[in-house]
Amino acid sequence: MSGRVLVVGLGPGPDHWRTPEVADALDAATDLVGYGPYVDRCPERPGQVRHGSDNRVELDRARLALDLARAGRTVAVVSGGDPGVFAMAAAIMEALDADPSARDLDVSVLPGISAMQAAAARLGAPLGHDFCAISLSDNLKPWPLVVRRLTAAAEGDFVIALYNPASKARPTRIFEAFDLLRTLKAGDTPVAFARAVGRPDERILLATLRDADPAVVDMATCVIVGSSESRFIARPGGARPWLYTPRSAPFSPSSGEAG
């Protein structure tokens, strides 16, 4: 087989956040495969075929990419953010796992800036200590599993980055998540809603867990919920406060660390 599959991350925002490696892959590809709005973000090139599709058919896109590569095509499978964070790298690997005949294809995953990295850079350093990322989408996993993971993350005092917080089909899950977190974390825990970071419609809202209004989120929003150590740093002149999580956390005997 002479074809290639390049699984690329476009980053969450402007073109200059795209890595040179990804830009070269997009330029070399004979075919682009991905969620329609992500494909639309790619520069057009004469002769390149674009295969845009709905956002719920990840595995179908992955199979299409492998079939095109079998036919000798150079296929760029595009994701927003990083392809390995709730995106197409996992779908490609799932398709390869189910299809041994495709495993001799040339497949490469090219990283991009994730939504949580972009949000963290805007905010200051909220991911400066231990953190985790959890998708609130229950399209591919049951909601009770999401609840179990949210509970474990809150009880472990991780900073939590929430992906896919709400959609037209799932308008209430973010409210359920916040109701749960409010029973497990302090009310003054910092919260950030980072929407469309790097794009013209970017919006950053800061709150505490007690006062945060989950109604502001949509699928373009990355929600960051701090740990017990996360804190705001006031800035002069009415500037938006910084949000950070210090790297040095106080020792607690209950942590299990050796004394």
Output the average pLDDT for the chain.
Answer: 93
Per-residue pLDDT tens digits for 113-132: 999 999 999 999 999 999 99
Band of residue 154 on the pLDDT scale cut at 50, 70, 90: very high
Q: Which CATH architecture group holds 116-249?
A: 2-Layer Sandwich (3.30)
Band of residue 251 on the pLDDT scale cut at 50, 70, 90: low
pLDDT of 255 reads 46
pLDDT of 55 reads 76
- Arithmetic mean of pLDDT, 154-169: 93
Tokens for 169, please give them.
């089909």
CA distance 188 to 185: 9
- Arithmetic mean of pLDDT, 187-210: 96
- Decide if pLDDT at 1 tops 70: no
Alpha helices in 14-135 (DSSP H): 20-28, 36-40, 58-70, 88-98, 115-123
pLDDT of 248 reads 81
- Decide if pLDDT at 5 tops 50: yes
Amino acid identity, position 5? V
Q: How far is CA 222 from CA 28, 134, 229, in A?
A: 31, 10, 20
Q: Is the pTM above the cut of 0.85?
A: yes
- Decide if pLDDT at 137 tops 80: yes
pLDDT of 122 reads 96
CB 165 within 8 A of CB 221: yes
Tell me which of 3.40.50.2300, 3.10.180.10, 3.30.470.10, 3.40.1010.10 is the CATH number of domain 4-113: 3.40.1010.10
Per-residue pLDDT tens digits for 37-51: 999 999 999 999 999
CB 113 within 8 A of CB 12: yes
pLDDT of 252 reads 53
**Percentage of the residues of the chain whose pLDDT score is greater than 90:** 85
Domain boundaries, the chain: 4-113, 116-249
CB 172 within 8 A of CB 198: no
pLDDT of 168 reads 80
